[in-house]
């Protein structure tokens, strides 16, 4: 029962305080608060490196129902600074369940708060945009005013004077280097749960925060994969003579990754087919001197429709991004739009004219989310066959 | 891509009378589809035989045909109306089958009519057992191994090849009779041989048994370009083995990991893409709880009960979007009406938990088998929305209106632990309560799971409810705010907290208000708050902030819905609620509707200005009233559900609009009502109110048998019986008193006369009667189960005048403002009043449609103070129509094993259809045709009547003989018939030597059984004969009046083309 648990608070930089109960590891964190609308796949979300530097709130209220199965992890650890839910399951149930979510969070060193009206939180983020917040069990915090002070209110003087300055100060920084692998790693079909099959090609994967299922999706289609850390040297990659280069997803503000962008400038002219996902898509655009900007509250969920501008077909995609490429910032003749978001018409994919480069903002590797755009890995194969 | 060229006029096929398995959801879907088509500028022609629907309103379609849903009739309509296309996938299986037949016979091609939406080939691939299996095999989607066999040995061979247990399903037996699960060869041989005998075609399907697997459904949508999306997935709490319509269902799925969720989602989309479905589709899966293995159970390429549920659960209007897709639009071109900003090509994300519980009819059929199987038995359902599962379950339970506000029904409280364990093994509607009781006894979750196969997650949630129950009991009067807050978070109603703690409801409420433990309302917006939405569709919770705004420029009116569809309270009341909402809106009011039935039009998000999807209990309603502060509430349109809330609403300070509560009471309160009748000098059958069995016996003997016995304040004649002896009185009093009665029980002298019914609008002074309806069956059979004829044919002008006069007197005496329904008996040329209901009735939609008088609208305007004369009508009896409209009840007995089918004062029908014509005989013929009573095939019938009916049966038998029927009869009946010169072949009783009546039925060569029951013959021959007839698909009539009407219809059957009547021409 929730009322036997320790009180915990989520304090937003605008002074709003949500009252809930402590879950996971016992520590205080400041982070950027984002919401995710996926109804399943909290393990995949927690282990997606793109969430480094952020605290994730799940809009679906019942989280932890099927516990945690370690093989569902999308990287070796959980990345968000904190996890925010309405209700966490005490009794998980699934035939593959290895532990419950609360134990997993604790073991991963991730604090969290449950009993939060995540919908009310989401409404604030939607209206005011993504903002920073703190998750704490500090007993000096209290909620003043508001008839529903057990749910939400304004912070007391302690919050305003002591905590808010710290919260406002926070900025997501240096996250790509944190999540990227530290050294080159080689994988072959059959590894990390992929399908064993004949090796047809070799691919260089630039890991700026890759999810395992990108690697797995490449392996299962008969590719050896060499994973390069974010500190890669473009010449070294070209010397490896891969059949294709994949640039992965990842966290943070893409414009911050100046070194990586410079290396990609070299890769893009190497006449090697390149496919890029999410952060990779943004970095490729930046390496063509285009611009990215921060969206009000981003796209995070498993229900985003994207339209293929060539075929007119619409697919449901998994998304996790706070920044987006500004299509208008390209010089004429460099790109043509491949996908756009049906809801807000933002750019979701690019075809680089005269080059064998294609990039998408969403996640064809899914996990969590629909498998509709998995065919893009075959598209990449076709690019390599040309 | 824009819409298809050349579509201007569309014929929409409805689903016909409400039966178990095909209910109000198709009125909802059809109405939405018609409105969606009209939005696109289409001319809409509609056919549906069901007059109680909103879709058959003149406002919904341009041309409305309330005609039997047969090939012949649809062809006639097509020839007359010349539509360019036809939309068959909104009318359930009935509509789809018709569309298929028209297409496959080449008729549609020959007249150049396009089949919109999913193609005939696709439908065949999805619905044909073999075609479906082949297709699934081709695309690598697994189906359960099965084989159709015609002999026992083949079945046994196949069973051993796929392994036991196996499921046996006899083909063409209704209600799944003769089927079952065989665990070994011996069992198989027994069940299979019996099943082969019961099957009309001598075939039984032997199928791999996957009972105990998780049952998961996906509602999916595909457009003509091949864009596929999932609207919603749902998980059944009850594992495979219970029809999804009878299961407790949650949305979205709760126990699936993303891997499982996406695996099944991908499969569902692959299937509809491969099939080429255009529009909405339902795919059902069984998922092995211990592996990733799954099986595709079924695909329904049309809107369905599940799609209605999914629409209400997510806010995504499936039928509306399906209709647009049928016109050629793509998903990304159709705006999402909920957000107004996004498009139909996205997948809804829920930020709440939805729970659906079926409404089962075992309170009406106390002898029917409660076991839940793959044959659906529920007549309706309730849905609830909450931020947690426990709360959703608690809300849904109290929405059922089955005298339950919690998981504690006390029915198992005196059981031993082992008896409780035994109850867990029974797969029925009580199981959820048995699980709760088991947890109360500390029987482990694992043991409960092992017995029931219900996922531990659900059991653990029920356990949370039980632990709060315990904490509340322990706290007693020392209840504190924290515990109270937790109890409210999971939606314990104050009534139940009061029972557990011993505190009064009032003091619990005070404690709540003191600590701000109040309901907050959250929006259902399809997108988990990601986008701003405009839809005013709300649910309540106790652990969140309120989003619903109470302020408004306009005056607000609260309209109370009628809850789940049940026998006695069907969609007619939804029709009335929706019409009154529209009428209030017309007059500039803001309308608020509260209802909990996901199948209805009233819970569509664009009917009222605001929709609260909530239980209809005083506490739940009060939460809304506190926020919205309506200027008044109308209760007279929402059936008994709404009427029951009158007193509570008044206590909350809400003005009851229309007829005052005291006057409603006066109609129900025996003594007050007798006084009024006396003042008006209106006679009624003698009778008294009683409380105890002794009083009942005394009264009955004083009046003289037969007497009518019933509880007051009920609808649909619930608990009403005709007693002919002291033993009957004792039995019926026992049945009535199973539930605590707040009101006295009524005992009346039973008069076997002609029953007549009127609905009237009263403005407080004048009355307007749209028409007088006469029942074919004599008094004693519930009005809802009688064939009803408008205008009354055998009632003299003088008697009609008396009826109009009595109606006016009563309406005035009861100060009726709005609607009143009165039932009369005409007995020996004398008019008696038997029942007065100062509210809307079951016949309101029927009489509105056949007279063209919008009586709900008129009643609403009367409630707002307009007079009948102001509205442009002359008070009194409205002019008689040139058309005769005959309403025929439709039953679902074949779905309810063990249910007594003989008709009596307690209502048993689930729906109705209408026959309209200028001639009485044709109207009657249409009514029987619409009810699906298709008689002469073998021209053989069985007659078995009680002694009192034997002489009357002679005339009936003579006429059947004349039509060429061979008559078999039980010995005594045969003797009487033969004595009177009607040749009848006597046949042995069931326990005598073969061939018996039963053998005759099982030869499958009988068309019709007429069996008027001897009182209390359950377990005797009559009951068995009636059941066997029903279960083998033979029409069985239990009243000679009905038989007489059927004869009239058969005698006048004419193969020449029937007339078809557009409602607008009446």
Residues of A in Cβ contact (< 8 Å) with B491: none
Architecture category of domain B145-208 in CATH? 2-Layer Sandwich (3.30)
Q: Is residue B823 within a helix (H) or strand (E), and if so which, with residue range?
A: strand B817-827
Q: What is the pTM of this model?
A: 0.95
- C-alpha closest to that of A264 among A240, A243, A248: A248
Task: Say yes or no for a CB contact (<8 Å) between B545 and A43.
Answer: no
What's the mean pLDDT in B90-114?
92
Domain covering B658-685+751-881 in this structure, CATH number: 3.30.470.20
Task: Say yes or no for a CB contact (<8 Å) between A150 and B254.
Answer: no
Q: How many alpha carbons lie under 13 Å from residue B1047 in its C-beta half-sphere? A: 21
Q: For residue B545, give how far its alpha carbon lies from the nearest alpha carbon of chain A (Å).
A: 7
Task: Say yes or no for a CB contact (<8 Å) between A95 and B527.
Answer: no
pLDDT tens, position by position, B459-504 = 999 999 999 999 999 999 999 999 999 999 999 999 999 999 999 9
Q: In terms of CATH, what superfamily is B215-348?
A: ATP-grasp fold, B domain (3.30.470.20)
Q: Which pLDDT value is given to residue A386?
A: 78
User: What percent of chain A is modeled with pLDDT above 70?
Assistant: 98
Helical segments of B490-534, H only: 494-501, 505-514
How far apart, in whole angstroms, are the C-alpha atoms of residue B309 and residue B315?
A: 10
Delimiting residues of CATH 3.30.470.20 domain(s) in chain B: 215-348, 658-685+751-881
Residue B277 has pLDDT above 90, yes or no: yes
Task: Say yes or no for a CB contact (<8 Å) between A371 and B262.
Answer: yes
Q: For residue B99, give how far its alpha carbon lies from the nearest alpha carbon of chain A (Å).
A: 29
Task: Say yes or no for a CB contact (<8 Å) between A342 and B343.
Answer: yes
Nearest chain A alpha carbon to B345: A305
Residues of B in Cβ contact (< 8 Å) with A40: 252-253, 256-258, 261-262
Residue B1017 has pLDDT above 60, yes or no: no
Contact in structure between B255 and B273 (CB atoms under 8 Å): no
- B341 CB neighbour count, 10 Å cutoff: 14
A371 in contact with chain B, both atoms CB, cutoff 8 A: yes
* Reported confidence tier of residue A3, pLDDT bands at 50, 70, 90: very low
Task: Say yes or no for a CB contact (<8 Å) between A1 and B486.
Answer: yes
Q: How many alpha carbons lie under 13 Å from residue A253 in its C-beta half-sphere? A: 12
Task: Say yes or no for a CB contact (<8 Å) between A93 and B544.
Answer: no
Task: Say yes or no for a CB contact (<8 Å) between A122 and B456.
Answer: no
Task: Say yes or no for a CB contact (<8 Å) between A119 and B527.
Answer: no
Q: For residue B633, give how far its alpha carbon lies from the nearest alpha carbon of chain A (Å).
A: 29
Architecture category of domain B934-1051 in CATH? 3-Layer(aba) Sandwich (3.40)
How far apart, in whole angstroms, are the C-alpha atoms of residue B132 and residue B147?
A: 14
What's the mean pLDDT in B207-232?
95
Residues of A in Cβ contact (< 8 Å) with B527: 37, 303
pLDDT tens, position by position, B571-608 = 999 999 999 999 999 999 999 999 999 999 999 999 99
Residues of B in Cβ contact (< 8 Å) with A69: 257
Which of A72, A86, A148 lies closest to B259 in CB terms?
A: A72
Contact in structure between B680 and B815 (CB atoms under 8 Å): no
A154 in contact with chain B, both atoms CB, cutoff 8 A: no
Class of the B527-656 domain?
alpha beta
Active-site position among A13, A263, A278, A367: A278
Residue A1 has pLDDT above 50, yes or no: no
- B704 CB neighbour count, 10 Å cutoff: 10
The tokens for B521 are: 């309302």
Any catalytic annotation for residue A278? yes
Higher pLDDT, A146 or B680: B680
What's the mean pLDDT in B45-66?
96
Active-site position among A32, A299, A363, A381: A363
Task: Say yes or no for a CB contact (<8 Å) between A316 and B547.
Answer: no
Q: For residue A188, give how far its alpha carbon lies from the nearest alpha carbon of chain B (Å).
A: 23
Class of the A175-385 domain?
alpha beta
Q: For residue B239, give how far its alpha carbon lies from the nearest alpha carbon of chain A (Å).
A: 15
The mean-pLDDT minimum among A255-259, B203-207, B472-476, B760-764 falls in B203-207
- A188 CB neighbour count, 10 Å cutoff: 13
Q: Which pLDDT value is given to residue B1016?
A: 57
A295 in contact with chain B, both atoms CB, cutoff 8 A: no
In sequence order, the β-bridge partners of residue B229 are B221
Contact in structure between B486 and A1 (CB atoms under 8 Å): yes
How far apart, in whole angstroms, are the C-alpha atoms of residue B181 and residue B186?
A: 12
A296 in contact with chain B, both atoms CB, cutoff 8 A: no
- B186 CB neighbour count, 10 Å cutoff: 10
Task: Say yes or no for a CB contact (<8 Å) between A66 and B256.
Answer: yes
Q: Which residues contact B254 (CB under 8 A, 6 or more apart)?
A: A62, A65, B235, B353, B389, B455, B457, B458
pLDDT tens, position by position, B504-516 = 999 999 999 999 9
Delimiting residues of CATH 3.40.50.20 domain(s) in chain B: 9-116, 527-656
Is domain B688-739 given the CATH code 3.30.1490.20 in the classification?
yes
What's the mean pLDDT in B203-215?
93
What's the mean pLDDT in B619-644?
95
- B431 CB neighbour count, 10 Å cutoff: 22
A305 in contact with chain B, both atoms CB, cutoff 8 A: yes
SS3 B553: coil
- B924 CB neighbour count, 10 Å cutoff: 25
What's the mean pLDDT in A182-198?
96
Residue of B258, B313, B445, B526 to mutate for A, most A C-beta atoms under 10 A? B258
Any catalytic annotation for residue A363? yes
Q: For residue A288, give how far its alpha carbon lies from the nearest alpha carbon of chain B (Å).
A: 31
Q: For residue A120, give how far its alpha carbon lies from the nearest alpha carbon of chain B (Å).
A: 7
pLDDT tens, position by position, B864-896 = 999 999 999 999 999 999 999 999 999 999 888
Residues of A in Cβ contact (< 8 Å) with B341: 343
Q: Which pLDDT value is given to residue B667?
A: 87
Residue A149 has pLDDT above 80, yes or no: no
> Reading across the β-sheet that carries A201-206, which strands appear in turn?
A185-187, A223-228, A201-206, A244-247, A274-277, A357-360, A347-352, A335-341, A291-308, A314-326
Active-site position among A263, A348, A365, A381: A365
Task: Say yes or no for a CB contact (<8 Å) between B528 and A59.
Answer: yes
Is domain B9-116 given the CATH code 3.40.50.20 in the classification?
yes
A96 in contact with chain B, both atoms CB, cutoff 8 A: yes
Task: Say yes or no for a CB contact (<8 Å) between B345 and A91.
Answer: no
Domain residues of chain A, as ranges? Answer: 2-169, 175-385
Residues of B in Cβ contact (< 8 Å) with A70: none
How far apart, in whole angstroms, are the C-alpha atoms of residue B312 and residue B1039?
A: 41
Any catalytic annotation for residue A367? no
Task: Say yes or no for a CB contact (<8 Å) between B266 and A370.
Answer: yes
Q: Residues 35 to 54 of A: which have CB under 8 A from any B CB?
A: 35, 37-41, 43-44
B39 burial level (CB within 10 Å; 0-12, 13-18, 19+) = exposed
Q: For residue A240, give how far its alpha carbon lies from the nearest alpha carbon of chain B (Å).
A: 35
pLDDT tens, position by position, B299-311 = 999 999 999 999 9
A342 in contact with chain B, both atoms CB, cutoff 8 A: yes
pLDDT tens, position by position, A262-318 = 999 999 999 999 999 999 999 999 999 999 999 999 999 999 999 999 999 999 999
Strands B590-595 and B556-560: parallel
Q: How far is CA A230 from the centre of its chain?
A: 16
Q: Which pLDDT value is given to residue B174?
A: 58
Residue B1055 has pLDDT above 60, yes or no: no
Is domain A2-169 given the CATH code 3.50.30.20 in the classification?
yes
Q: Which pLDDT value is given to residue B994?
A: 82
Q: CA angle, corner A164, sides to A160 and A167, nearest 5?
A: 170
A310 in contact with chain B, both atoms CB, cutoff 8 A: no
Q: Which pLDDT value is given to residue B718?
A: 64
């Amino acid at each position: 029962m929730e009322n036997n648990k320790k009180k915990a608070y989520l304090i937003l930089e605008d002074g709003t305080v949500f009252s809930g109960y402590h879950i996971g590891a016992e520590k205080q964190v400041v982070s950027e608060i984002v919401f995710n609308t996926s109804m399943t796949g909290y393990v995949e979300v927690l282990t997606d490196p793109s969430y480094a530097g952020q605290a994730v709130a799940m809009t679906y209220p019942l989280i932890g129902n099927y516990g945690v199965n370690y093989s569902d992890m999308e990287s070796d650890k959980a990345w968000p600074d904190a996890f925010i839910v309405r209700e966490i399951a005490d009794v998980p149930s699934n035939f593959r369940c290895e532990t419950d979510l609360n134990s997993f969070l604790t073991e991963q060193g991730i604090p969290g708060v449950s009993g939060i009206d995540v919908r009310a939180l989401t409404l604030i983020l939607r209206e005011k945009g993504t903002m920073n917040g703190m998750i704490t069990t500090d007993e000096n915090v209290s909620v003043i005013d508001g008839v529903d002070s057990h749910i939400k209110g304004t912070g007391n003087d302690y919050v305003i004077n002591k905590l808010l300055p710290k919260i406002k100060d926070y900025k997501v920084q240096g996250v790509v280097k944190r999540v990227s692998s530290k050294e080159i790693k080689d994988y072959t079909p059959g590894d990390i749960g992929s399908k064993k099959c004949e090796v047809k090609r070799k691919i260089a994967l630039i890991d700026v925060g890759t999810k395992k299922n990108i690697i797995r999706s490449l392996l299962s289609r008969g590719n050896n994969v060499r994973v390069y850390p974010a500190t890669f040297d473009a010449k070294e990659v070209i010397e490896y003579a891969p059949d294709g280069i994949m640039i992965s997803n990842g966290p943070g503000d893409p414009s911050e990754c100046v070194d990586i962008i410079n290396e990609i400038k070299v890769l893009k002219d190497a006449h090697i087919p390149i496919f890029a996902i999410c952060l990779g898509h943004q970095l490729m655009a930046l390496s063509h001197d285009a611009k990215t900007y921060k969206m009000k509250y981003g796209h995070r969920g498993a229900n985003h429709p994207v339209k293929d501008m060539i075929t007119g077909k619409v697919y449901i995609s998994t998304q996790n991004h706070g920044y987006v490429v500004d299509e208008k910032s390209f010089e004429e003749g460099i790109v043509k739009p491949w996908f756009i978001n049906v809801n807000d018409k933002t750019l979701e994919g690019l075809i680089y004219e005269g080059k064998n480069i294609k990039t998408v903002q969403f996640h064809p590797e899914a996990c969590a989310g629909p498998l509709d755009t998995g065919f893009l890995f075959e598209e990449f194969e076709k690019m390599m066959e040309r | 891509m824009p819409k298809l060229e050349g579509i201007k006029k569309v014929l929409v096929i409805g689903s016909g009378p409400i039966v178990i398995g095909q209910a109000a959801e198709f009125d909802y879907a059809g109405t939405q589809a018609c409105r969606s088509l009209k939005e696109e500028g289409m001319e809409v022609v509609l056919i549906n035989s069901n007059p109680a629907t909103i879709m058959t309103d003149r406002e919904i379609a341009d041309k409305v045909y309330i005609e039997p849903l047969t090939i012949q009739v649809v062809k006639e309509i097509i020839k007359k109306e010349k539509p360019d296309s036809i939309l068959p996938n909104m009318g359930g299986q009935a509509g789809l089958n018709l569309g298929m037949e028209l297409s496959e016979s080449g008729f549609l091609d020959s007249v150049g009519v396009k089949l919109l939406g999913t193609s005939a080939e696709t439908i065949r691939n999805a619905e044909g057992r073999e075609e479906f299996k082949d297709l699934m095999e081709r695309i690598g989607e697994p189906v359960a191994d099965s084989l159709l066999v015609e002999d026992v040995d083949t079945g046994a061979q196949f069973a051993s090849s796929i392994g036991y247990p196996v499921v046996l399903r006899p083909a063409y037996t209704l209600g799944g009779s003769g089927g079952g699960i065989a665990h070994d060869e011996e069992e198989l041989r027994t069940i299979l041989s019996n099943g082969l005998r019961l099957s009309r075609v001598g075939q039984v399907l032997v199928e791999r048994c996957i009972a105990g697997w998780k049952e998961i459904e996906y509602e999916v949508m595909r457009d003509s370009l091949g864009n596929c999306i999932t609207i919603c997935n749902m998980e059944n709490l009850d594992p495979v083995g219970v029809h999804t319509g009878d299961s407790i269902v949650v949305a979205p799925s709760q126990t699936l990991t993303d891997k499982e969720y996406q695996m099944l989602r991908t499969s569902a989309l692959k299937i509809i893409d491969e099939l080429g479905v255009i529009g909405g589709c339902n795919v059902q899966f069984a998922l092995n709880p211990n592996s990733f293995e799954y099986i595709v159970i079924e695909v329904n390429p049309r809107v369905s009960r599940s799609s209605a549920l999914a629409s209400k659960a997510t806010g995504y209007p499936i039928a509306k979007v399906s209709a647009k897709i049928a016109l050629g639009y793509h998903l990304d071109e159709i705006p999402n009406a909920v957000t107004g900003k996004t498009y139909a090509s996205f997948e809804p994300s829920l930020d709440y938990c939805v729970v659906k519980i079926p409404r089962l009819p075992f309170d009406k059929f106390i002898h029917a088998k409660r076991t839940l199987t793959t044959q659906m038995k529920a007549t309706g359902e309730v849905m609830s929305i909450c931020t947690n599962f426990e709360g959703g379950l608690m809300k849904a339970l109290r929405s059922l209106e089955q005298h339950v506000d919690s998981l504690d029904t006390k029915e198992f409280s005196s059981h031993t632990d082992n008896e409780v364990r035994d109850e867990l093994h029974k797969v029925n509607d009580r199981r959820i309560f048995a699980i709760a009781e088991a947890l109360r006894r500390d029987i482990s979750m694992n043991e409960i799971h092992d017995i029931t196969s219900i996922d531990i997650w659900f059991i653990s949630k029920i356990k949370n409810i039980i632990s709060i129950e315990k904490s509340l009991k322990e706290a007693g009067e020392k209840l504190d705010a924290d515990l109270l807050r937790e109890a409210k978070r999971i939606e314990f109603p104050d009534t139940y907290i009061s029972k557990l703690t011993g505190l009064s409801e009032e003091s619990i409420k005070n404690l709540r208000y003191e600590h701000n433990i109040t309901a907050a309302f959250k929006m259902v917006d399809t997108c988990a708050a990601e986008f701003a939405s405009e839809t005013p569709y709300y649910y309540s919770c106790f652990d969140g902030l309120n989003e619903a705004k109470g302020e408004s420029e306009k005056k607000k009116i609260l309209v109370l819905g009628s809850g789940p569809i049940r026998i006695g309270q069907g969609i007619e009341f939804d029709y009335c609620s929706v019409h009154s909402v529209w009428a209030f809106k017309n007059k500039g009011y803001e309308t608020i509707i509260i209802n909990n039935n996901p199948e209805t039009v009233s819970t569509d998000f664009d009917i009222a200005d605001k929709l609260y999807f909530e239980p209809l209990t005083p506490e739940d309603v009060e939460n809304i009233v506190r926020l919205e502060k309506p200027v008044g509430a109308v209760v007279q349109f929402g059936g008994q559900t709404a009427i029951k809330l009158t007193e509570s609403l008044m206590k909350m300070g809400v003005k009851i609009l229309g007829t005052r509560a005291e006057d409603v009471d006066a109609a129900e309160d025996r003594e007050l009502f007798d006084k009024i009748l006396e003042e008006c000098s209106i006679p009624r059958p003698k009778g008294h109110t009683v409380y105890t069995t002794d009083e009942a016996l005394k009264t009955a003997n004083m009046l003289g048998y037969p007497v009518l016995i019933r509880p007051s304040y009920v609808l649909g004649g619930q608990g009403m019986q005709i007693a002919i002896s002291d033993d009957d009185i004792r039995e019926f009093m026992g049945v009535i008193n199973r539930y605590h009665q707040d009101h006295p029980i009524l005992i009346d002298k039973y008069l076997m006369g002609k029953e007549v019914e009127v609905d009237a609008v009263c403005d407080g002074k004048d009355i307007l009667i749209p028409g007088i309806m006469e029942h074919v069956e004599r008094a004693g059979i519930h009005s809802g189960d009688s064939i009803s004829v408008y205008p009354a044919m055998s009632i003299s002008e003088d008697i009609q005048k008396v009826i109009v006069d009595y109606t006016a007197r009563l309406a005035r005496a009861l100060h009726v403002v709005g609607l009143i329904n009165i039932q009369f008996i005409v007995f020996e040329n004398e008019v008696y009043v038997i029942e007065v209901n100062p509210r809307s009735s079951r016949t309101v939609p029927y009489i509105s449609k056949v007279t063209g008088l919008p009586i709900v609208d008129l009643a609403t305007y009367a409630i707002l103070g307009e007079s009948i004369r102001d509205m442009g009508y002359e008070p009194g009896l409205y002019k008689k129509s040139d058309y005769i409209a005959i309403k025929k009840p439709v039953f679902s007995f074949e779905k309810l094993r063990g249910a007594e089918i003989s008709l009596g004062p307690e209502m048993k029908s689930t729906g109705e259809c209408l026959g309209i014509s200028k001639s009485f005989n044709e109207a009657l013929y249409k009514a029987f045709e619409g009810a699906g009573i298709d008689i002469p095939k073998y021209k053989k019938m069985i007659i078995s009547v009680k002694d009192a009916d034997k002489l009357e049966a002679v005339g009936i038998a003579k006429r059947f003989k004349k039509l060429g029927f061979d008559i078999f009869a039980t010995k005594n009946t045969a003797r009487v018939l033969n004595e009177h010169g009607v040749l009848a072949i006597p046949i042995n009783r069931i326990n005598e030597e073969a061939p018996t009546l039963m053998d005759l039925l099982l030869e499958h060569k009988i068309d019709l059984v007429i069996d008027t029951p001897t009182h209390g013959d359950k377990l005797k021959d009559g009951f068995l004969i009636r059941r066997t007839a029903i279960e083998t698909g033979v029409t069985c009539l239990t009243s000679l009046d009905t038989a007489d009407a059927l004869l009239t219809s058969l005698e006048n059957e004419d193969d020449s083309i029937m007339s078809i009547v557009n409602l607008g021409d009446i």
